[in-house]
């Protein structure tokens, strides 16, 4: 009986993930993601840039819409809710790695290091899963140091969005809004970096990601309102 229940539960979870993704796709169609093909090509096609792509926790929905099918490995909580997120992420084309800073964190980080060393793209929220908001935690720096892969800061700008009153001020793109993604310059973490050096790199990454978000938002708003010539802050 237990085996049958477990099998049924797995089937229901798989169906729930695919159904949720189908609904998400319909919603995402209403958002005009200006450089989604370019973003996917840069991350996972030509030229191939395997590495670590950190983005703020509040940008998850936008990236779930438009960074799927790249096969990027992402860290997902081992909680019950995390199981549904993992199924949704898998349906969207990501490679879920189970773990978090609170549950299975060490094991999750180890798996991400293996994914990065294998030449796969790793996407991570350095301020997740509980914050503080837009504060880079040491995990992403440790990941880069241990894997030898570069960090490529990533931000998604939105012309119009709702902001959820949560710790991360989670963003929900409004229908018919414009989204624009920016990938910053690469950051390398030396394999012998000290704790002080890692803290300094984390601070630098934090400042870059905040600046990228501001720039990407400005570009998205300008593209939405046709304000004339737009100077793209960073070319992918």
> How many independent structural domains does the chain possess?
1
Output the domain CATH number for residue 81.
Answer: 3.40.1130.10
Q: What SS3 class is residue 86?
A: helix
Query: Is residue 234 domain-resident?
Result: no
Domain ranges, residue 78: 2-225
Could you tell me where the beta strands, DSSP code E, fall in the chain? 32-33, 52-54, 73-76, 95-98, 122-124, 154-158, 161-163, 171-173, 178-183
Query: Is residue 126 domain-resident?
Result: yes
49-80 pLDDT, tens per residue? 678 999 999 998 888 877 666 788 888 877 66
Query: Is residue 8 domain-resident?
Result: yes
Q: Which residue has the higher pLDDT, 30 or 204?
A: 204
Query: Is residue 235 domain-resident?
Result: no
186-227 pLDDT, tens per residue? 999 999 999 999 999 999 999 999 999 999 999 899 888 766
The predicted pLDDT at position 226 comes to 65
- State the burial class of residue 139 (Cβ atoms within 10 Å of its Cβ: 0-12, 13-18, 19+): buried
Query: Is residue 233 domain-resident?
Result: no
Q: Answer for the pair 205, 187: CB distance below 8 angstroms, yes or no.
A: yes
End-to-end CA distance of the chain: 53
pTM, two decimals, is 0.82
- Rounded CA-CA distance 109/99 in Å is 8
pLDDT at 165 over 90: yes
Query: Is residue 19 domain-resident?
Result: yes
Query: Is residue 68 domain-resident?
Result: yes
1-20 pLDDT, tens per residue? 444 434 445 554 555 666 77
Query: Is residue 232 domain-resident?
Result: no
């Amino acid at each position: 009986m237990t085996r049958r229940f477990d099998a049924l539960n797995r089937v229901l979870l798989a169906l729930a993930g695919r159904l949720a993704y189908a609904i998400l796709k319909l919603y995402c169609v209403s958002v005009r993601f200006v450089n989604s093909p370019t973003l996917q090509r840069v991350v996972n096609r030509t030229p191939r840039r395997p590495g670590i792509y950190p983005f703020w926790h509040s940008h998850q929905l936008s990236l779930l819409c438009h960074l799927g099918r790249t096969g990027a490995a992402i860290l997902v909580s081992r909680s019950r809710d995390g199981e549904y997120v993992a199924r949704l992420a898998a349906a969207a084309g990501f490679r879920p790695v189970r773990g978090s800073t609170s549950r299975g964190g060490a094991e999750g980080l180890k798996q991400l290091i293996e994914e990065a060393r294998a030449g796969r793209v790793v996407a991570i929220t350095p301020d997740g899963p509980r914050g503080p908001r837009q504060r880079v935690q040491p995990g992403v720096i440790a990941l880069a140091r241990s894997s030898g892969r570069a960090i490529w800061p990533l931000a998604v700008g939105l012309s119009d969005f709702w902001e959820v009153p949560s710790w991360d001020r989670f963003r929900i793109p409004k229908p018919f809004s414009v989204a624009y993604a920016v990938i910053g310059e690469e950051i390398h973490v030396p394999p012998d970096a000290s704790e002080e050096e890692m803290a300094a790199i984390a601070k630098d990454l934090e400042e870059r990601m905040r600046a990228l978000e501001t720039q990407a938002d400005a570009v998205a708003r300008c593209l939405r309102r046709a304000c004339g010539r737009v100077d793209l802050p960073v070319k992918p």
